[in-house]
């Protein structure tokens, strides 16, 4: 380990640590995690949970870990923000912000409308339970994109090239519903 660098896994007992204020916290944490990982298989970190103060720090840590890993394959640990709102927790009372937004769709209505859309446009004749399961997955995907502030979902349809396996093209076609068909349904 480089002199002066923070070692997140040094010592025994609880792994509560602090980094000196003059050190780059997230980069040191990522470097310490990779040093600790050593030559272990890439999936070793999937059992770890790293708690950070907010979503921005969690994204920055994931980026730093990927950057420092370079060409080495590493499966990310669970990175959880401590101080942010929960996904289903509204930040303000409805109407408090006064934004010019269309009315929100009720969660149950959204679930059933997505299931209907999937059954009609993705796989006609699909069993209702399967359509509801896929609607939950698609809704979760859209929610994650919203939380992560993904700027442009329109690229999803172009992700699966012709030379990729059929299941990748099917996945891209399914996620394409989120970009193309779902906004039209909401109008």
The answer to the question of residue 112 being in a domain is yes
What's the burial of 180, exposed, middle or buried (CB within 10 Å: 0-12/13-18/19+)? middle
pLDDT beyond 90 at 112: yes
The four Cα atoms 61, 9, 19, 43 give a dihedral, to 10 degrees, of 0
* % of the chain at pLDDT higher than 90: 8
The answer to the question of residue 134 being in a domain is yes
- Clarify whether residues 116 and 73 are in a common domain: no
The answer to the question of residue 59 being in a domain is yes
Cα separation, 131 vs 94, in Å, equals 30
Confidence of residue 97 (pLDDT cuts 50, 70, 90): low
The answer to the question of residue 44 being in a domain is yes
pLDDT attached to residue 86: 56
Cα separation, 40 vs 99, in Å, equals 50
Q: Which of 148, 154, 140 is nearest to 183 (CA)?
A: 154
pLDDT beyond 70 at 11: no
Q: What is the pTM of this model?
A: 0.46
Q: With beta carbons less than 8 A apart as the criterion, state whether 49 and 77 touch.
A: yes
Cα separation, 27 vs 30, in Å, equals 5
pLDDT attached to residue 1: 43
The answer to the question of residue 137 being in a domain is yes
Q: pLDDT, tens digit, for every residue of 12-32?
A: 655 666 778 888 888 988 888
> In the listed set 52, 84, 116, which residue is the last one of a domain according to the structure?
84
Instruction: State residue 52 phi and psi, 5-degree precision.
Output: -125, 165
The four Cα atoms 37, 42, 45, 50 give a dihedral, to 10 degrees, of 90
The answer to the question of residue 121 being in a domain is yes
Range of the domain at 77: 1-84
- Clarify whether residues 70 and 147 are in a common domain: no
pLDDT attached to residue 2: 47
pLDDT attached to residue 56: 87
- Clarify whether residues 34 and 73 are in a common domain: yes
pLDDT beyond 60 at 146: yes
Residues 80-99: what's their mean pLDDT?
60
- Clarify whether residues 2 and 67 are in a common domain: yes
The DSSP-derived string for 138-186 is: HHHHHHHHHHTT-S-GGGGGGSS-TTS-HHHHHHHHHHHHHHTHHHHHH
Q: At what angle do helices 55-69 and 25-37 cross, to 10 degrees?
A: 50
The answer to the question of residue 130 being in a domain is yes
Query: How many folded domains does the chain comprise?
Result: 2
């Amino acid at each position: 380990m480089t002199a002066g660098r923070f070692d997140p896994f040094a010592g025994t007992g609880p792994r509560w640590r602090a980094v000196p204020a003059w050190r780059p916290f997230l980069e040191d944490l990522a470097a310490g995690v990779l040093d600790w990982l050593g030559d272990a298989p890439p999936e070793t970190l999937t059992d770890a949970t790293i708690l950070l103060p907010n979503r921005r720090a969690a994204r920055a840590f994931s980026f730093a870990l990927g950057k420092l890993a370079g060409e080495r394959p590493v499966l990310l640990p669970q990175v959880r923000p401590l101080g942010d709102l929960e996904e289903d927790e509204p930040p303000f009372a409805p109407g408090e912000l006064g934004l010019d937004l269309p009315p929100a769709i009720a969660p149950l209505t959204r679930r059933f409308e997505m299931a209907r859309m999937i059954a009609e446009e993705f796989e006609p004749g699909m069993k209702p339970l399967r359509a509801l399961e896929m609607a939950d997955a698609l809704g979760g995907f859209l929610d994650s994109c919203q939380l992560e502030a993904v700027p442009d979902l329109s690229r999803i349809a172009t992700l699966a090239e012709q030379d990729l396996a059929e299941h990748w093209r099917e996945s891209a076609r399914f996620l394409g519903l989120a970009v193309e068909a779902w906004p039209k349904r909401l109008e």
